[in-house]
Every structure is written in structure tokens, then in C-alpha cells.
Amino acid sequence: MLDRLDQQPPDALLALIKLHDADPRADKIDLGVGVYRTGQGETPVFGAIKAAEQKLVKEQDSKSYLGPEGDMGFVHALMPYIFDGEDPTIGGRIDGMQTPGGTGAVRLALALAKACGVSRILMGIPSWPNHAQIIKDLGLELVTFAHATDDGAADLAALEAALSDGREGDAVLLHGCCHNPTGVDYTPAQWDDIAQLLEGSPVLPIVDLAYQGLGHGMDEDAYGARRVIAAVPEALIAYSCDKNFGLYRDRVGALYAMTADTESLARVMSNGYALARAAWSMPPDHGAAAVRLILEDEKLTAMWQDELDQMRARIRQVRDRLGTAGQVGSVDLTPLAHQNGMFATLPLDKDQIAELRSEHGIYMAGSGRINVAGLTMDNIEKFIHAVSAVAS
């Protein structure tokens, strides 16, 4: 029976990694892999994580199962940073559970939405490719709208139109901040409008908050999610610690549900536990335990926040330099200075992207998406000149 399976195409990003690794040029530039890099091109382990891991090794006295909900100390320690306020549970209407990374959180959010009767997902495109793959795998219908305008701003009108056509059984999937792959975020004023549109709407909001702290700050980057949950009776929030704690391979995430009343919350979470039990049984513990230890310790929290501030400042430095380059051939880099997070999408065709790779040793996704954290003050001038050369 296994021979009935069709050959699937290789993952384009994994293929790009192999091509980059095989390139012997010393000045090659990797803008494809979506991980943070320092000015020296490294993806380090946070000092706060190292300290928490040492503490974990010393103090952890069991590797016994935690259950499908995972480390609830971790889940609850994150809540003040996501939801803010003296009562981050919103009067006992919000709770969460640990997931294997942000991907697990998105998968569980969509599966839980489906279990509630959602059949259509409204989503701006382009989006993170795995969003559409998960939606398809769950048998949900994807309804798309344009995320950004041609001048590099978020297309609020397109979202408004999609929501105005929304009906019972619809959910809308929104990037909380640092949009992947465009870097184009809704402004605070636009989030205010979105919250107003969702108030009283039958559409269930699902917010994917995967990059909190990498845009403008922890509070600033949570503005959209907070405005939405303040306006609606129900919402799902998929969260990732893989980026803002540098825990990519440890797969650290959480799913939060807000219900209309406290009586519904336990029932919703029980369904989340059942879906998780069938999917991965229980999430990996190590990374979440390290995050919990950081957030329980004022000194480690301060260390983590300082490291996160340095990451954000370096990303902003790269974006500012790209923005000052302005018009580079047919490509205007100016909007990149006003976008957020690690990603941006350049208007380059497949031949230009191939030429950047073959002639200049610059590797990026075929969509034109780049990881701006792959640029440093040492290689950014080469990148700007190379884009000018292929886009002239």
C-alpha cells in the first residue's frame, strides 16, 4: 500500500539551505533560514536561557509526564506579557496550554476552531506557507484577501471587505506582529479599526503571535492581540517562544483560549487537551521549563529582556540602513525601514533571485522573502549593490 503514495516535492527552504552550505564562496549570504543572527552571523543561545538551563539541571528532580497541558507554570508565567493588566486571565475567561512550538499552537488553534464548527479560515496573503498547509490538512476552506498594498502598507480595506462578508462558521487568522513574510504590520490605529470590526462579528479571531518583542517591544507588539481580545467575547491566541527566547529547536509554544464566560473555559480547554493527546500526547518540557525559570526570577527576566532589546536594535539597524538605500534599480528599499521583525519580501522575479544566488552568492526564498537578520554591517553593502545589479 505504501507504494501508492505520490512523490512530494522537497521543501524549498531545506533545499536552499543545502545549496548555501555547498557554496564555497567565503562572502556568501544566507537570507533564507528564518532564525535570528548576530552581527557576526551567529544564532546564539541566550545567556538567560543558559543560566536557566543550569538551574534546571541542578534542581529538576523528575522527568515524569506532565500531561497534555504541559508546564502550566510556563503557560501562566507568559500571560502577563501577552495579555497585560492586573488580571491577565480577563476575569477567569482566559487559560492556555503548552504546545510544541508556535506551529503546534497554530495547528491546535485551527483544530479547536474546526471542532467548534468553523469551516472557513479568512487569511491575508502572502502568509507563512505553513498556515495554508495546516488549513488544507485539517480540511478547512481557505478564503484569502490581500494583506499589503503595492506601496508596502497593510491593506486594511481588504481585511474589512473579508470581515464584512464573514459569517457564522468563519475564523480569521491574523499575524499579531512582525508579519511573516512581508514585515508589514497593521498600525495601532488600524488595530483599533480591526477590533471594532470584530466586535459583534460572527467571525472567530485567531491571532498568531510568533515574534513578540522583535518589532517595537513586548507591550507594543502585543497591542493588536490585546485590542482584539478586549473587543470580542471569544478568541484564540497561538504563541511562540522559539524566536524571542531563541529556542528554535526546543519547540516552545502555547495556545490560549478566551471564552465568553468562565463556565465555558474548562470545557474548551478539555477539548484542547483531547486534541493535543491525539496529536502529540504531551509537549517537550525542557525549553518551556527554562522559560518558566527565567520569568520566575527577576534577574534572569532582566537579562532576557536586555538580550531581546539587543536583538530588536540590531534588526532595526539593518532595516534603517536598507531604508536609506532607497531606490535600488527597480526595487525601492525605503519601506523596509518602516516594517517590523525579521522578514521582508522584495519584488524580485525568479530569474533575478537565481542571478543573486549564482552571481553574488546571495540566497533567499523563491518568493523574494528575505531574513533581514542575515544581513550585517559587513555584508549589507554587498547585498544592496547586488540587488541594484540584478534589478537594473
> Could you give the residue numbers annotated as active site?
128, 208, 243
Distances from the Cα of 307 to the Cαs of 46, 197, 382, in angstroms? 7, 37, 28
End-to-end CA distance of the chain: 53
Residue 36 CB-density burial (10 A; 0-12 exposed, 13-18 middle, 19+ buried): buried
Cβ-contact 182, 372 below 8 angstroms: no
Cβ-contact 381, 29 below 8 angstroms: no
Rounded to whole angstroms, the Cα distance separating 339 from 183 reads 5
DSSP string, 254-282: EEEEE-SSHHHHHHHHHHHHHHHHHHTSS
Rounded to whole angstroms, the Cα distance separating 329 from 387 reads 7
| Cell numbers 459569517: residue | 167
In sequence order, the β-bridge partners of residue 209 are 239
Nearest partner of 175 among 243, 86, 117, judged by Cα: 243
Residue 293: all three cell numbers together: 525559570
DSSP strand pairing (170-175 vs 141-146) = unpaired
| Cell numbers 467548534: residue | 116
DSSP string, 52-111: HHHHHHHH--------TT--HHHHHHHHHHHH-SS-TTTTTTEEEEEEEHHHHHHHHHHH
- What's phi and psi for 114, nearest 5 deg? -60, -40
